[in-house]
Structure 1
Amino acid sequence: MQHDPLPDTTCEWSVTGMDCASCATRITGALDRLPGVSAVSVNVMAEKLRLRLDPDQTRRDEVEDVVRALGFGIAAPAARKAAAHGHAHDHDVEPGPWYATAKGRLVILTGLLLAAAWTLGFLLPGQWRDWAFVAACLIGVAPVAQRALAALRLGQPFTIESLMTIAAIGALFIGAAEEAALVVFLFAVGEVLEGVAAGRARQGIRALAELVPKTALLESDGRSQQVPADSLQVGQTVLVRPGDRIPADGVILTGSSGIDESPVTGESVPQPRGPGDEVFAGAINTEAALRVRVSRAAEDNTIARIIRLVEDAEEARAPTERFIDRFSRWYMPLVVGLSVAVILIPPLAFGAAWGDWIYRGLALLLIGCPCALVISVPAAIASAMSSGARRGLLMKGGAVIEATAQIRAVAFDKTGTLTHGRPQVTDVVPLSDLDQTELLRLAAGVESDSSHPIARAILQRAEGLTPARAEDARAQAGRGVSAMVEGRLLHVSSPREASEQGLLADGAGEQIATMESAGKTVVVLSAPDGALGLIALRDEARADAGEAIRQLHAMGLSGTILTGDNQRTAAAIAEALGSDYRAGMLPADKLAAIAGMADQGVMMVGDGINDAPALKQASVGVAMGSGTDVALETADAAILRDRVTDIPAMIRLARAAMRNIRQNVSIALGLKAVFLVTTLLGITGLWIAILADTGATVLVTMNALRLLAYDPTRA
């Protein structure tokens, strides 16, 4: 027994048969009129309908009846999922090839009727020939008219189905039965082609979902057993054999192997991974057996997050898309009004022949469908996002793509972004009676609870030493860490912070300057009465960092390093990379710097918690894939491969997407304008008008699909 949801409960369905944004608009408009229905959200790419429902006013089955009346299939998500695995028989869900769908069957039916009418035309007298075409038209237009009437009852008079029905029936009345039947057939063909194109755009998402294996070898009590991969829990351990796909995001416990991450990140060369390294669900273990501890549940693994990001991209619609959506709302009524004027004014005002101008007005009706225009932007956005996702370039929606295309400056965090984020301790310099070992041991105690790269480097260097017991550790962003270590308050900070507190003795500044001039980062271990010692670290730049800066410059963009490092260290790294820099920056300073660059369109690239405010402030914030979850959630985009050259690649992809959108809009409006004129002049007729509309839709869709093959990583 199925119970209605509680009042104001969020409900969700799978909806099939949606080909473009206009389909979503029709569903949204119809459901918004129902009492007790609010927050209607239709996702064409994910084929999902979500809304808030008060069952005391409208029941679930009433919502489903409205969607079906509009000509779409609808089912509960569970039923749709079961159908995908061949275990459901819900008539609303239409798996299989195009000819198995309702629109495909309509194409076959109208095509057979048209062929039969032409055949009868050769065999029978003229009158019977005309009646054959009338029958072909009426039978073919019947399901279209049914959807048009349903939309009309739901307060939507201006739909392509209504225009199509009026044009076809009107053509019969003026004796153009053959053209009317041909128009119905071409309309059906166009709808199928739109569906096929939309299906291709969704294939990339479905392929991502198939990357994660269905089963996993779960280790428990010293034995391994095969279990469903989606049942794995955080903390469990799985065995991954050579050649197997990794079933979950996790951390390697034992074993070392090459990991082919190309299915997830597009990285073509297997990467060496060993104990302590993170691995992605869907990546392929190429060499040796691994034991992996699951770090994320199935619904939150990297693949799932990418799929959600791509599917939910429609929520962040590009400004261009929003403008076209508003434009299309008055475009169709305007053309309908123009069509009525074309039918009435010449005969009434100038005595022109009614038949000629009714014919032209009906042809003009078919030009009023904005399908090609409406689909021009979302098709390009979806293709660009799918292309980027396959290469580890994730952008959260059309608004982000459009903003990225307009970027003029790129600001980089240094540690973990332009560098590997794995600094190594190079110098340990006591400034008191402590020796190097004791200095390292105490510094490691202060940093024992920190995950900062500098803390990890100090802890790694102090391995094997007797741990110093620390309590009440506190971190201040950009200022260092303090803790009570063995009853003594100690602080690890930057030289600038220590100098401002008056903790550095004479002579220490020269030692610090020498190490910083060599590109090293220096931290000071100090007590309330003075500095105890210096620890210098060096973090090597990523191999492709300089090439990324060069590519940005070649694209006409500026690159600037924003770092908390001192002036000398920042200058050494910036000079090696060929970039501008700003040094000694606290998180608030980075935020102010980004705000100051906002007028020219700035992209901020970072990986840490300290970068989150600047990522949010930037026109586009990009998180490195190895960065913290805070950075990934705050950012507008992410790169999974930790390649700095993926930043210019992301900008190239966004620019290509916007070029594609401009081309699509030009095709859609250009064809409309041409056939508007030729129709008014009587040069083109009904079947050319519908062919132009269908052709424009197919052209813009196929043009958008070209982005699926575009490789933005090629400079």
Structure 2
Amino acid sequence: MATEAYKIRVEGMDCASCALKIETAMQRLPGVADVRVNYSAGTLALQLDQDRTPPQIIEEQLRSLGYQPLAAASSPNSVPAVRERSPWWKDAKLRSILITAAMFVLAFALSQIVPPHERWFYSAAAVVSLIPIARRALMGAVAGAPFSIETLMTVAAIGAVMIGEAEEAAVVIVLFNVGEWLETFAAGRARAGIEALIEVVPRTAWRLRGGSGEVEEVPAADLKIGDVVVVRAGDRIPSDGKVIEGRSDVNEAPITGESVPVAKAIGDQVYAGSINANGELRIETTSAAADNTIARIIHLVEQAQESKAPTERMIDRLSRWYTPAAMLVALLVIIVPPLGFGEDWSTWIYRGLATLLIACPCALVISTPAAIASGLAVGARKGLLIKGGAVLETLGKVKTVAFDKTGTLTLGQPQVTDVVAVVGQDDAVLARAAAVEGNTSHPIGQAIVRAAKARGLQLPVVFGGSQAVPGKAISARFKDGFACVGSPRFAAERTTIPPELATTISSLEHEGKTVVVLISGKTCEGVIALRDEPRPDAAGAMQQLTSKGIAVVMLTGDNARTARAIAGQLGMESRAELLPDAKLAEISRLKDVSPVAMVGDGINDAPALAAASVGIAMGGGTDVALETADAVLLNDRTRGVVELIALSQATLGNIWQNISIALGLKAVFLATSLLGVTTLWMAILADTGATVLVTANALRLLRWRASES
């Protein structure tokens, strides 16, 4: 069977119950597989064999269930678009409220004019208002979802009319439509979290035209790889690209969540949606609109929303028998008291119908996906990309976090930590060493040059360039003779190292630092120590994790001395000299005890990331990081791990609050219904109220701040 990906936007799908109904209906169609319904994004995605089920059948099925199919995406990875907002008078659910309310008002007016026929007026209003709901219930039953909210509403409304409570039946239908519209409103608020990401990318760009130097305004979506765009101060960058001219500070908050601008110069990578703060930049486009960082983040978040968390799956399974069980309980409430105890049939039919309305599962079903959708959306806005509800749940249960060292806990490049002069001043030693290393591509040499530039040192003139002694040293000729920068072993071969200096070198190496010696002729002028230093926020992050009762450990292939030094500085354990298979074995051992997260660069640590309960990649928005691991720290900060876990814990707390609200309100109103206190309109208002409360509580997560961790 040849299938292809098919994705379509669906209007009117605003709650988890809607998603379940559509999912069930689609799974019954021939040639349809891998159905993924995302009510948060309002999309339906599946694998489709068009020879067995043409797309038109999919659209007809959606319409029959009461939903409006919109234009299908040209491909599953097409450019995301902001959902168009129709005028309020075109809102189908708002029209339903107005129509049912008008029917009720008309029935009320006629009953005042002709009181003897009051029941018939309200009955007619209820029946006419019920027709669209009953039709959706029937089509749902035909499509494999007989126990839907529409079914409960239809049964309750018809029952109320039959026992002479037509006025309440009409009110219940009005309130039901109000509840559905409130769900639509809440879903729109949740979608706004993702649409805010879409809107940060400008719609137009200033593109250089050929070699003429003239610029033309073009749609950003039309930019191709290799195009050169001009981005003025204050403008948003229209596409991912590389700076080819100019210098500026760029605010990357839309991608990384970090509001501190980042300095950009020729050769630096920039991301679509970032804000150019000051100088003008010329940028060569490196990705099409559909593949820029923002677009990939949005697609990954939408895919994450399609995947179900364990709690959500449990509630989905529960809801499949919950509704028929609720109908059975309502039936028992109706027949047991009259048949068993001689009670009044009318009274207990009324109470049974109230029980039926209270038992609607909407609030319970929406409790988890609403919270998960909000958590994923707020995470993406803050540079915490989480690939699925299951990942979001698991993060909050992690008991151990294992970190790679290089590029994860550390900056990934050596930094000058110590300069010890034997002859002259420290700055003079650093300046001469930087001059020797001036044209090197070696990381240690580049670090020495960066340190000299950072101190604003004037470098002495080198005559004839530098010469390398592979694996040992590099030398250059100054006005006063030759000088070289090399390892302590190389220095010992060339001259005698003073005992005090040898002690200093040994002490520095014991701290896990790499030491190089500056030699002029036969004289040791001084030593420079370097080390790949911890990220500025790493120590604080480790402290926060341990304060939460989470164990932290470093897993590295580096030597034990360096590992111990860095780990001691950060207050954590270390396991050193681990090859990839040994690192994988260590993760498996930790995972056998409790859930474990592995944090790495997303490339070398791939096996360990895959084996961990949750794999977290330090991303910085790079292509590899976005496609690797279960979660990505787009802000490239170690503290992002703390924020991920805090967001997960906040989401889990929100889920259990929602479940408690849903079940607690139902329990209270079930008791009052059996006691005869709750009326039908109060019952449906209780269900609608529970749904609104659960949704509003989930939307609170959209205001979550990293400082809450």
Structure-2-length-normalised TM-score: 0.84
**How far apart are residue 315 of structure 1 and its match?**
3.6
Whole-Å separation in 1 of the counterparts to 2:342 and 2:267? 86
Matched AA of 2:399: R
Q: Evaluate the alpha carbon distance shift between residue 400 and residue 7 of structure 1 in structure 2; reply closer, same or farther with a 3 A threshold.
A: closer
1:160 aligned partner: 149
Q: Which moved more, 1:562-571 or 1:49-58?
A: 49-58
The aligned residue for residue 34 of structure 1 is 29
Find out whether 1:129 has 2:124 as its counterpart: no
Which amino acid in 2 is paired with 1:287? Answer: N
In structure 1, the partner of 2:172 is 183
- Counterparts of 2:229 and 2:465 in 1: how far apart (Å)? 33
| Secondary structure of the corresponding residue to residue 206 of structure 2 | strand
What corresponds to 2:69 in structure 1?
A: 74
C-alpha displacement at 1:438, in angstroms? Answer: 14
- Alignment partner for residue 378 of structure 2, among 387, 394, 405? 387
Q: Which deviates the most, 628-637 or 185-194?
A: 628-637
- In structure 2, the partner of 1:696 is 690
Matches within 5 A, 1:68-467: 68-77=63-72, 95-96=85-86, 99-121=89-111, 123-219=112-208, 220-221=210-211, 222-424=213-415
Task: Classify 1:234/1:175 alpha carbon distance in 2 versus 1 (closer, same or farther; 3 Å).
Answer: same
Query: Does the 8 Å contact 1:36/1:57 carry over to 2?
Result: yes
Distance 1:262 1:628, change over 3 A: closer
Q: CA 1:54–1:603 in 2, change beyond 3 Å: closer, same or farther?
A: closer
* Pairing partner for 2:705 from 691, 708, 711: 711
Q: Any conservation in 2 of the 1:646–1:713 contact (CA below 8 Å)?
A: no
Q: Which moved more, 1:294-303 or 1:319-328?
A: 294-303
Aligned in 2, Cα 1:589/1:155: closer, same or farther, shift over 3 Å? closer
Give the deviation of 1:457 after TM superposition: 6.0
Structure 2 CA distance for partners of 1:117 and 1:210, relative to 1, 3 Å: same
How big is the shift at 1:609? 1.8
**2:538 touches 2:570 (CA, 8 Å); kept in 1?**
yes
Distance change in 2, residues 1:337/1:641 (3 Å): same
Q: Is structure 2 residue 575 aligned with structure 1 residue 575? A: no
Deviation at 1:518, TM superposition (A): 3.7
Measured at CA, do residues 9 and 392 of structure 1 come closer, stay the same or move farther in structure 2, by a change above 3 Å? closer
Taking structure 1 as reference, are residues 55 and 540 closer, same or farther at Cα in structure 2, changes over 3 Å only?
closer
Tell me by how many angstroms 1:512 deviates.
Answer: 8.1
Q: Is the 8 A contact 2:437 2:446 kept in 1?
A: no
| Equivalent in the alignment of 1:48 | 43
Matched residue, 1:549: 542
CA separation in 2, counterparts of 1:302 and 1:55?
A: 32
CA 1:465–1:602 in structure 2 vs 1: closer, same or farther (change >3 Å)? Answer: farther
Please state how far the C-alpha of 1:466 moved relative to its aligned partner.
7.6
Asked whether the 8 Å contact 1:607–1:628 carries over to 2, the reply is no
SS of match in other structure, 1:76: strand
Deviation at 1:11, TM superposition (A): 2.5
Q: Which runs of 5+ in 1 are unaligned?
A: 1-5, 87-92, 429-435, 448-452, 471-479, 481-494, 499-506, 524-533
* Counterparts in 2 of 1:608 and 1:126: CA distance versus 1, 3 Å: closer
| % identity of equivalent residues | 53
In 1, Cα distance between equivalents of 2:192 and 2:340: 55
Aligned partners of 1:607 and 1:626 also within 8 Å: no
Structure 2 letter corresponding to 1:100: K
| Aligned equivalents of 1:200, 1:549: Cα separation in 2 | 35
C-alpha distance in 2, partners of 1:94/1:353? 54
C-alpha distance in structure 2 between counterparts of 1:594 and 1:79, whole Å:
41
Find the residue that maps to 1:559 and give its secondary structure.
Answer: strand
1-structure distance, mates of 2:358, 2:445: 66
Aligned length: 649
Question: Quick one: distance in 2 between partners of 1:456 and 1:196?
Answer: 56
**Cα drift, residue 133 of structure 1:** 1.6
Whole-Å Cα distance in 2 between the matches of residues 405 and 132 of structure 1? 56
Alpha-carbon distance between aligned partners in 2 of 1:454 and 1:401, rounded to the nearest angstrom:
40
Partner in structure 2 of residue 613 of structure 1:
607
Deviation by residue 1:361-387 (Cα, 9 ceiling, x = unmatched): 222221232111111001001111111
Q: Secondary structure at the match of 1:609?
A: coil
Tell me which residue corresponds to 2:598. 604
8 Å Cα contact 2:434-2:445 kept in structure 1: no
Q: Is the 1:256–1:274 contact (alpha carbons within 8 Å) kept by the matching residues of 2?
A: yes
Please tell me the residue identity of whatever aligns with 2:537. D
Measure, in 2, the Cα distance between the counterparts of 1:239 and 1:687: 61
Bigger shift: 617-626 or 52-61?
Answer: 52-61
1:62 aligns with 2:57: yes
Q: Report if aligned partners of 2:396, 2:645 keep a CA contact under 8 Å in 1.
A: yes
State how far apart, in whole Å, the 2-side matches of 1:295 and 1:384 are.
31
- Equivalent of 1:648 in 642, 651, 665: 642
Listed one character per residue, the Cα deviations across residues 624-668 of structure 1 (whole Å, up to 9, x for unaligned) are 123764444221111111222222111111100000000000111
CA contact (8 A) 2:36 2:307 kept: no
Deviation at 1:124, TM superposition (A): 2.1
| Counterpart Cα distance in 2 of 1:600 and 1:85 | 41
For the residues of structure 1 that align with 2:49 and 2:631, how far apart are their CA atoms? 36
Instruction: For 1:579, give the aligned amino acid.
Output: M
Asked if the contact 1:418/1:542 (under 8 Å) is kept, the reply is yes
TM-score (norm 1): 0.83
Q: Which moved more, 1:213-222 or 1:181-190?
A: 213-222
Matched residue, 2:479: none
Is 1:637 matched up with 2:622? no
Letter in 2 for 1:406: K
How far has the Cα of 1:231 moved from its partner?
2.2
Change (3 A) 1:608 1:362: closer
- 1:677 deviates by 2.2
Q: 1:659 to 1:213 in 2, by over 3 A?
A: same
How far apart are residue 209 of structure 1 and its match?
0.5
Corresponding residue SS for 1:243? coil
User: Is the 1:42–1:48 contact (alpha carbons within 8 Å) kept by the matching residues of 2?
Assistant: yes
Residue 138 and residue 163 in structure 1: after superposition, are their counterparts in 2 closer, same or farther (change >3 A)? same
C-alpha distance in structure 2 between counterparts of 1:375 and 1:142, whole Å: 26
Moved more, 181-190 or 127-136: 127-136
* 1:98–1:104 contact (8 Å) kept in structure 2: yes
- Opposite residue 156 of structure 1, the aligned amino acid is A
Offset, 1:164: 0.4
> Post-superposition shift, 1:291?
1.5
Distance 1:56 1:279 in 2: 44
Partner of 2:429: none
Q: Tell me, yes or no, if the aligned pair for 1:612 and 1:631 is still in contact at 8 Å.
A: no
- What's the CA shift string for 1:56-97, capped at 9, x where partnerless? 433322221111010000022259999x999xxxxxx98425
AA paired with 2:149? I
CA contact (8 A) 1:251 1:279 kept: yes
1:566: which partner in 2?
A: 559
1:477-496 to 2 correspondence within 5 Å?
A: none
Shift of 1:130: 2.4
SS at match of 1:713: helix
Query: Partners in 2 of 1:148 and 1:465 — Cα distance?
Result: 84
Distance 1:80 1:621, change over 3 A: closer
Could you tell me which of 662, 667, 682 is aligned with 1:668?
662
Whole-Å separation in 2 of the counterparts to 1:625 and 1:37: 36
Whether the 8 Å contact between 2:7 and 2:75 is mirrored in structure 1 is no
